Amino acid sequence: MPVPDRPDALSLPSFLPRGGAMPDQAALPLSGVTILLVEDSRYASDMLRMMCQRSGARLRRAETMEQARAHLRTYAPDVVIVDLGLPDGPGERLIRELAVSRRVHVVLGLSGNPEGRATALAAGAAGFVDKPFPRMAGFQRLILRHLPGRFSPVVLEDEGHAAKADPLAFHDDLAHAADLMAASLDAPARAYLARFIGGVARSAGDTALATAAGAAEAGSEGMPELRALVRRRLQEGPRF
């Protein structure tokens, strides 16, 4: 089932700290690093955007593998982070392509499913990023671990919590999912949709929604409950 594009599908602009003078270089351990995120969830993308902004990294985004390929024909990021569940197929397919071509220094897999780690590494990824994302220092260390000798290993200390995305992005992802659920879903489309909602739910810490998504992925009988819960979340509005 074709998945409609959304307005920000190709990329997000590069992000640098806003305001007055630039912070001290030691506070930006990822300064000079360009990251391409291949991720269809706006909520997850917004969380990573904030961590990159606070770390000094430049972030671009593609929502599908095809858009990522178009991006890579023009730009050469230092790191590509690929979600394993994408609208146009499994992300490990793109990981495998990049590992074989060696066009990118570092390719990392991304998933809210712990089993995704083995899948990403088997496809040739250098490492793996879990959803929900690690805290700030953990994210910085993860990136620096794969860029030895290029950047200072100074990292920000954890501040108690991971970065929080705009709750409107969570609402936007669920509205997108509700639009997809309004159409007739075959088995592959249902599995993609359930994985998409599950990833968004895990990123947002919504255990009930993640559980319902897992049940819907396992069988079509779980889809009515998932549809009802998505509708309820949309009625409740942003709640984080």
Question: What is the per-residue pLDDT across 145-204, written as a single tens digit (0 to 9) for each?
Answer: 998 765 555 555 554 445 566 788 999 999 999 999 988 888 889 999 999 999 999 888
Domains parsed from the chain with CATH numbers: 25-145 (3.40.50.2300), 167-236 (no CATH)
Looking at the DSSP bridge assignments, the partners of residue 85 are: 90
Q: Alpha helix (H) ranges present in the chain?
A: 42-55, 65-72, 91-101, 116-123, 136-145, 167-181, 187-204, 207-218, 223-236
**Nearest alpha carbon to residue 124 among 146, 94, 144:** 94
Residue 6 pLDDT > 80: no
With contact defined as beta carbons under 8 Å apart, do 108 and 127 qualify? yes
Residue with tokens 């495998």: 96
**Nearest alpha carbon to residue 71 among 89, 63, 107:** 63
Q: What pLDDT, on the 0 to 100 scale, is given for residue 239?
A: 58
Residue with tokens 């024909």: 73
Stated pTM of the model: 0.82
Span 207-223, pLDDT tens digits? 999 999 999 998 889 99
Residue 83 pLDDT > 50: yes
**Nearest alpha carbon to residue 109 among 121, 97, 100, 93:** 121
Q: What pLDDT, on the 0 to 100 scale, is given for residue 102?
A: 86
Distances in whole angstroms, Cα of residue 53 to Cα of each of 49, 98, 148: 6, 25, 21
Beta-carbon contacts of residue 46 (< 8 Å; ≥ 6 apart): 165, 166, 169
Q: What pLDDT, on the 0 to 100 scale, is given for residue 148?
A: 77
Q: How buried is 182 (Cβ within 10 angstroms: 0-12 exposed, 13-18 middle, 19+ buried)? A: exposed
With contact defined as beta carbons under 8 Å apart, do 28 and 152 qualify? no
Q: What pLDDT, on the 0 to 100 scale, is given for residue 90?
A: 95
Average pLDDT, the chain: 83
